[in-house]
Amino acid sequence: MSRTQIGENIHMFKCPLCGTKMRMSGEQSIVCAKNHCFDLSRKGYVNLLLSPVKTEYNKDMLQSRNLIIKSGLYRPMTELLGQLILEHTPITADDGIKILDAGCGEGSHLAQIIDNINSRSNTQITGVGIDISKEGIQIASRDYPGITWCVADLTNIPFTDKRFNVVLNILSPSNYTEFTRLLTDDGILIKVVPGSNYLIELRKFFYGKTDKQEYSNDRVIEHFGDNFHITNTRQILYNMPVDQKNLEHLIRMTPLSWRAADERIQATLKTRLDSITVDLTVVLGKK
C-alpha cells in the first residue's frame, strides 16, 4: 500500500540530485529525467538521501517514541492540529489537503492528525512524511501504510515547488527556505515547540539545579517570526498519568536523556512518577 501511495503521488517528487521530475520505473524504483534512480524499499518507503547520515535517533529511541505516542501522551496536541488545519486551510474539491510532516520521526503524529481530520471532515487528505532517520521511516511505513514515507534531508526536500497546503514541523529542526518553497501561496506552516514546563519532571530528575533545568522557546518563536507571518499561537498545557511500565520508554524517547548522567537515569527509573507535564506552544504562520 505504501508503494501504491508513492506511485499515486509521483508527480509531487523531484530528484534530490538534479531537481528534475520523477516517474515510476516498474514497481521497484523511481527515476528522474536524467536517469538518477532510487529503489523502493520492500517495506514501501523510498530513501532519497544522497549519503548516509549518523543520528542519535536510533531504533530503540524511535520504538519507545512510537509506544508513547500510541499510548495517547500527545493526543490533545494532534487533535488541536487537526482542528487548526481544517480551520485555516482553503479546501478545493479537486485536490483536498496535502500535508507534509517535515521531521516526522516514526510517523505517529502525522497518522493521528490525519485520523482526526478524517473523523471531522470528508476532505481528501494526502499525507507525506519525511525524516533523516531511516529507522524512523521504517517504523512509519510498517505501521501507517496509507501515507507516503521518505528518508530525506530538510535541507534538500525532494518535492516540487508549492506542492503542499500544510507543512508540519513538530518538535523538530526547521528549514524555512524549503518550507517557503514547498507551501502553496495560501498554505500554512504549523510548528510545535516545547514550553518551559515540557517534561519538567524528567528535567528536574536529570539535571537537578543546574542551568539545564530551565528552558525557554522565545528564540525559536522569534526565529519563526523572522521567516513567516505568525497568525495564531496556542499553548497546550496538561498533565498525563504515567504507567510505570512505560516510564523507561518515556525516558528513552526524549533527547533530554542524551546528556543526563546514567546514575540519574537509573535513579529516575526507580522513582514512582505519577504524571508527566506536557507543555507545548503551537505557532501557525503564512508566507
Q: Which CATH class is domain 2-286?
A: alpha beta
Residue 168's H or E segment, with its range, is strand 164-170
Distance in angstroms (rounded) separating the CA atoms of residues 154 and 159 = 11
Q: Are strands 148-151 and 125-131 parallel, antiparallel or unpaired?
A: parallel
Q: What is the DSSP string of 90-112?
A: --BTTTBEEEEEET-TTSHHHHH
Tens-level pLDDT at each residue, the chain (287 residues) = 677 889 899 999 999 999 999 999 988 899 999 999 999 998 889 999 998 888 888 899 999 999 999 999 999 999 999 999 999 997 765 679 999 999 999 999 999 999 999 999 999 999 999 999 999 999 999 999 999 999 999 999 999 999 999 999 999 999 999 999 999 999 999 999 999 999 999 999 888 766 565 678 999 999 999 999 999 999 999 999 998 889 999 999 998 888 788 888 888 888 888 899 999 999 999 99
Answer yes or no: are the C-beta atoms of 282 and 192 closer than 8 Å: yes
What are 125's three cell numbers? Answer: 487528505
